[in-house]
Structure 1
Amino acid sequence: MELFNIHACAYIVLHHINLKSSCPANIDESTWLRLDAVIKEWIYTTISLDLMQTIMKNGATAQELWNRLEEIFQDKNETRADYIEEQFNTTRQDSFSNINDYYFPLKNLVDQLTNISNSITGNKMFLQLIFGLTKGGYDTIVAFIQQNDPLPSFNKACS
């Protein structure tokens, strides 16, 4: 949804999907209707067929379609957050061929949680990173990193 919001903002049509955004004063009704149709087309062409069929409604505005999408995704956010957090907590480096292959999935899971307003603290990210490392292979590095006060950021620890 973030990318769609950015797209709508760039084309100065955010007011069609976000009531808090102000509508330019010089838009006449025919222009507004044309822009609304364009945004509905964007919505319909960027979601799955099943989801499109779920939200499609004759005569609906882009705002109405957007609201229906938000309702669907917000209902699933808590369950999705629990699932992603469990994945994050159980990810171990020994499942990957190298440290970079371990770091990127962790970072991706954190980003997914942040996108659904369920962020993980920096310390928890750091602790998962070091405690998920293969025993024996990184003990010296982990001991060195843990001696830092304050603890380094997730990204700094990865580097």
Structure 2
Amino acid sequence: MGDKHDTTNTSTQSAPLHPVYTVTDITKKVPVLDGTTVTYSAWVKLFNLHARGYEVLDHITAEPPSKDDPTYAQWMKIDVVVLQWIYNTLSANYLLRVLEEPSTTLQAWNRVKNIFHNNKGPRCAALQSRFVNLKLSSMSSLEAYCQTLRDLAAQLDDVGSPVNEQTLVLQLVRGLPREYDTIGSIINRELPS
């Protein structure tokens, strides 16, 4: 005798969850942009990588669909999540300069971009001055000195003034005190990376 209970599936088929909703803490994937430790170019590369991976690259490259488009409501929900990613990966200093209401992700993305692309000349001059005047004696250790030189070189790259390996090594030697003269002359002769 057959079962009297109807086992017909009455649940509706729902759309799969968009990958963007699976990210609980974007800062574990994209570190906070502070302009020093995490440079703009590094932040952009990491953000783009994750935007592609989570299928939201169009939110930082294109305008939203028109309001009468059937995908508009869902697109805007996703846009808010990606906008939160941007806000969560900015240092307090940059967040205050970028935070606006209302805003789309693309608008916020462009405000961040403008911070780093506007005033390139003065930023470049200030960074170059810090780079050429940095001395080991002003740092807590040799490791801190080398890291600071690399960080300044990365920041100079962000403003369109890249520092090649040779210049980086030469500047490292120039900032060493006299007790390093012997090793400095060896480095200058062989110019290792």
TM-score interval (norm. to shorter): 0.7 to 0.9
Identify the match of residue 185 of structure 2 among 128, 134, 143. Answer: 143
Residue of 134, 138, 148 corresponding to 1:91 = 134
After TM superposition, the runs of 4+ consecutive aligned structure 1 residues lying more than 6 A away are none
CA displacement, residues 111-145 of structure 1 (integer Å, 9 cap, x when unaligned): 2222333211222111111111111x112212222
Flag the structure with more relative contact order, 1 or 2, with Cα contacts below 8 A and sequence separation at least 6: 2
* 1:11-65 deviation per Cα after TM superposition (whole angstroms, max 9, x unaligned): 221121124xxxxxxx944432221121122223444352244xx142x421122
CA distance in 1, matches of 2:108, 2:143: 40
| Contact in 1 for aligned 2:136/2:175 (Cα 8 Å) | yes
Amino acid of the structure 1 residue aligned with 2:96: D
Alignment: residue pair count: 140
Matched, 1:152 2:186: no
Give TM-score, length-normalised by structure 2. Answer: 0.62
Q: Does 2:164 correspond to 1:118?
A: no
* Structure 1 position 72, deviation (Å): 3.0
Structure 1 unaligned segments of length 5 or more: list them. 20-26, 154-159
| Offset at residue 97 of structure 1 (A) | 4.3
Whichever structure has more helix as a proportion of its residues is: 1
When residues 65 and 97 of structure 1 are mapped into structure 2, their CA distance, relative to the original with a 3 A threshold, is closer
Residue aligning to 1:65:
108
Aligned-partner Cα distance in 1 for 2:144–2:155:
17
User: Partners of 1:7 and 1:17 in 2: how far apart?
Assistant: 12
| Cα separation, 2, equivalents of 1:68 and 1:102 | 32
Indicate conservation of the 8 Å contact 2:170/2:188, yes or no: no
Native 8 Å contact 2:98 2:111 kept in 1? no
Query: Normalising by the residue count of structure 1, what TM-score does the alignment of the two structures yield?
Result: 0.74
Structure 1 or 2, whichever has the larger Rg, is 2
Q: SS where residue 151 of structure 2 aligns?
A: helix
Give aligned-pair identity as a percent: 33
User: For residues 72 and 92 of structure 1, what CA distance do their matches in structure 2 show?
Assistant: 29
Residues of 1 paired with 2:137 and 2:145: CA distance?
8
Q: Which runs of 5 or more structure 2 residues have no equivalent in the other structure?
A: 1-42, 63-69
